[in-house]
Amino acid sequence: MKLIRLMRLKKERQKELKKLARIRSDLKNQVSAKEAQIIEIKKDIKLIELEVQEIKEKIEKLEAQQNQIKKVDEFNALTHEVSTLEKQRHAKELAASDLIDKQNVEEDLLKELQSSLAETDSNSRQLEEEIY
């Protein structure tokens, strides 16, 4: 009778072990996907930072040109262009800020996934020791 119960218990534990293996596999996939997502976010942030720098350089050039212009209409046109570039710069900086916030959230999620994976690995090893 005890042997039958032990065999049933062993089968149940083996099922639990298989379930843990599936969960581990899923968590590993989620960790990999999250890491890839964070890398893409970092690339996007760098790209936006480069675009902001280019806009700043254009603004500096236009402001230097403004100092040399003597006609009011040309000066006003450059002022309008500088204003437009400032708005673009501001929009890009906001986008970069949003991406940085998103990156921080995703990194926190990654830490949680890694913690869950480590816990699942530990539980799996513990269950294997109980079975075998």
pLDDT tens for residues 55-94? 999 999 999 998 888 899 999 999 999 999 999 999 999 9
pTM of model > 0.75: yes
Mention every residue, 6+ apart, whose C-beta is less than 8 A from residue 69: 75, 78
Lookup result for tokens 């204003």 = 83
Q: State residue 89 phi and psi, 5-degree precision.
A: -60, -45
Number of helices (H) and strands (E) in the chain: give both, helices first.
Answer: 2, 0
CATH architecture of residue range(s) 2-131: Orthogonal Bundle (1.10)
C-alpha 86/C-alpha 58 separation (Å) is: 10
HSE on the CB side for 114, CA within 13 Å?
Answer: 9
CA–CA distance, 53 with 48 (Å, rounded to integer): 9
Domain ranges of the chain: 2-131
Q: What is the pLDDT of residues 2-17, one digit of tens each?
A: 888 878 888 888 898 8
Amino acid at residue number 43: K
